[in-house]
Structure 1
Amino acid sequence: MSAPLHDFGRNGNPQRGGLAMAKFAKASADLDRDRFAKVLNAFVGMGRDWSVAELAEATGIPERTMKGYKEGRAAPPLGNFLRMAAVLGPEFVNQVLEPAGLGGAHSIVSDHIVDIFDLADSMSRASSEIIGKAARGHLTFADHAAILALTRTVQAKSGLFLWKEAGISQ
């Protein structure tokens, strides 16, 4: 069980920082590297779906750097983590985030093939709806949620289309 991010003051209310935060910060670096290495080793290496060289090539992360992550010498910056997450998938992400009490990652990309016409149609519909909502002069919280859903759909379809055009299977 990791230390909480807050201490309780005299009135019993949580306050940021203090001893608990200092303990968390000190233990965090080692925990991050060790935890990440443990999870990465479950997905990459001998007898796994990915070798270090294959994952390095798929992500564009140098093989030497990838070996450092596997050996626990370093934890990746966010950009590298996201590249690995895109290749290794939601189960990898869930295992990395589990110590924080988080999980539930899942792919937002559907399995159907996207062609240029499907992508163009999605982009056109999304643009039209966004313009219609913006033309009123203000956006409600419901509008923001709808626009976010539209942009995620277009983003997912764009990714599928680009993967297909590059000849890469997911």
Structure 2
Amino acid sequence: MYDAGDIMKFGFPMAFTATMLSLAILEYGENMKTVKQLGHARDSLKWITDFLINAHPSENVLYIQVGDPELDHQCWERPEAIRGIRPSTQVNTSFPGTEVAEETAAAMASASLVFKNINSSSSNLLLEHVQQLFSFADAYRGSYSVSIPQVQSYYNSTGYEDELLRAATWLYHASKDLSYLKYVTD
């Protein structure tokens, strides 16, 4: 899933998209089923969450961008035709990115609810990643657009508190762990 018609991948809007798609499936899944679109919606969500899982290779690392925005916003081609270097950008303990990590956690938690009764292994894997991401982003707080200034021109952030609460809320719904509800209400 690219940012536009070009070949940039930005994790922040991709995670938000996955969260909204999950919410749509959870709220309107029966309507989607009626018009034979529920399977397509779930397939799209699974594709995104598989990418997000791969973007989280260890507890305190999340890849948030693939491509060079200066070059790749100019390039409109099929993914199969892409050649050359594809730089990737990550948030980690040295360069925190609370808002992007927590939006990714919210995406994974909400998707785990979508897959809970139809693919429990995917649901459980997502929850495992969510808990790691939430802990990482909460422990190493910092805005990704401060840690990685080059993202400011594309997806600048003005704060991460809303993503912390959003992720904790989805985590509570997905896990039923009261500590996440307490996190939100305190």
Q: Which TM-score tier does this pair reach, normalised by the shorter chain? A: under 0.3
Q: TM-score, normalised by structure 2?
A: 0.24
> Which protein shows a greater Rg?
1
Q: TM-score, normalised by structure 1?
A: 0.25
**Taking CA–CA contacts closer than 8 Å with sequence separation of 6 or more, which of the two structures ends up with the larger relative contact order?**
2
